[in-house]
Amino acid sequence: MKRRWLAWVPAILWMVAIFYLSSLPNPLPIRRRLLDIVVKKTGHFVGYAILALLYRLGMLIERGVDDSEAVPWSWGLTLFYAATDEFHQSFVPGRHSSALDVLIDGTGALVGLWLFRKTRPRTTIEKPDIG
């Protein structure tokens, strides 16, 4: 029995980590406002870039789709999770939801997917010379 569904475990664990962090009233109390904003927004950007790549991995392995299909689906799923996480944060004392955070999350996902595509090693299959 193939266990390709295990390819989704990293994405699920990452989503649990994001959910946990967004459940905390103020996960990183930093006294300087600018530093607070930079650290938290960078965390959004990088965290959702990683989530998009993990979704991509799950689709490539478990679904067997190619990159041209996996990338838009990965980005869409990441945006959906970002929006639902912001909604979740609206119920956490000391937190609020922000459309700007969803925009940062979506941008991080796009940049992460793009960077991965641009920096991964290219493999080429040479066609045999028939004659």
126 assigned to some structural domain: no
pTM: 0.83
In a domain, 25, yes or no: yes
Number of structural domains, the chain? 1
The percentage of the chain sitting over the pLDDT mark of 90, rounded to a whole number, equals 59
Between CA 21 and CA 45, with CA 111 as vertex, the angle to 5 degrees is 20
Chain segment 26-76, per-residue pLDDT in tens: 766 667 777 778 888 999 999 999 999 999 999 998 888 888 899 999 999
Q: How confident is the model at residue 1 (pLDDT cuts 50, 70, 90)?
A: very low
CA atoms of 19 and 124, how far apart (whole Å): 40
Cα–Cα distance for residue pair 7/26, rounded to 1 Å: 32
Residue 62 lies in a domain: yes
Whole-number pLDDT of residue 36 = 73
| Mean pLDDT for all residues in the chain | 87
- Enclosing domain of residue 48: 10-118
